[in-house]
Amino acid sequence: MSPDIHFPAGNRRHVMPGRAPARSCWVADVNGLVMVEGRPGSGRTSIAEDIVEWLVGEHVAVEHRAEGQADHPVDVDHVVVLDTAQLLALAAESTDTSRALLGAAEQHGDAWVVRPASQAALPEPLRARVCEVAGRARVPAELTASLVAEAWARFGANGPGGVHVWESALLRSPDVALVRRLVDAVRAHRPVVVYLDDDREIGSSRQGQRRELDLVVVAGLDVPTLVVPVGDGRRDDHTAAVRDFVADHLGLTGRRDSQQVA
């Protein structure tokens, strides 16, 4: 039976509808990292999914990572952090607990980090207990920034392969220096930013203030960037503009034109 077009949401390696395409039909040399950013409600998921479906139609291998996905290569929301006192208290509960926990935790200064893969290896009662205890810990901002930077550096160290489409991965922090550092870490993947600017979020609201910070950060990035004013409701125009921008960056524009002429 031939594979369906979509694999489970999140980490997707897409194929053409109804059949497994011959290897020769994929565009093997197309690589890029498309980061779709914007405030909540700006349409990030819709735009990201449209980019993915369109690239599938162009025979481009593409992976889509949704916001907050547990196995996202640069998302640290699912990382558990314990301070030393919490770790020692848990380890003192039993020899088995101590052995399992110390084997799973990584030391970062005065804190201990348990990554999702290591959490999965823990016995269920201990995994739940670790998460419960960690929920009472205050994670220093410096540690969070360090973990994020390490995750981006690990992804960047891997050679580019196909196109990656990420939602809301870059602008998690308003720290301009940190965001630039993250972009530099993945520069080999040819990153671009699509920022969906809902200009209805203005004034003194929290979303409006964060939007203004986002725009300052985006303006300072040394990567191709498209800011799309989505507050006017012209969805089709926005989708077309994003496709044209991504096609130009990935080198698909000339290929598409030559196919139409042929």
Encode the chain (262 residues) as per-residue pLDDT tens digits: 322 222 323 333 433 333 333 333 455 578 999 999 999 889 999 999 999 999 999 999 999 999 888 788 898 888 899 999 999 999 999 999 999 998 999 998 888 999 888 898 899 889 999 999 988 878 888 888 999 999 999 999 987 788 999 999 999 888 899 999 999 999 999 999 999 998 776 666 787 888 889 999 999 999 999 999 998 889 999 999 999 999 999 999 865 544 444 4
Which secondary-structure segment (H or E) carries 80? strand 80-83
For residue 101, what is the DSSP state? H
Q: How far is CA 138 from CA 28, 80, 189, in A?
A: 45, 11, 34
Structure tokens at 23: 């290897």
Domain ranges of the chain: 23-73+143-261, 80-139
Residues with Cβ < 8 Å from 154, sequence gap 6 or more? 73
Q: What is the pLDDT of residues 199-230, one digit of tens each?
A: 776 666 787 888 889 999 999 999 999 999 99
d(CA 53, CA 127): 37
d(CA 72, CA 108): 21
Report the C-alpha dihedral over residues 217, 218, 219, 225, rounded to 10 degrees: 170
Provide the CATH topology of domain 23-73+143-261. Rossmann fold (3.40.50)
Q: Report whether 194 contacts 161 (CB < 8 A).
A: no
d(CA 242, CA 48): 10
Structure tokens at 148: 């994020």
Distance from the Cα of residue 91 to its chain's centroid: 33
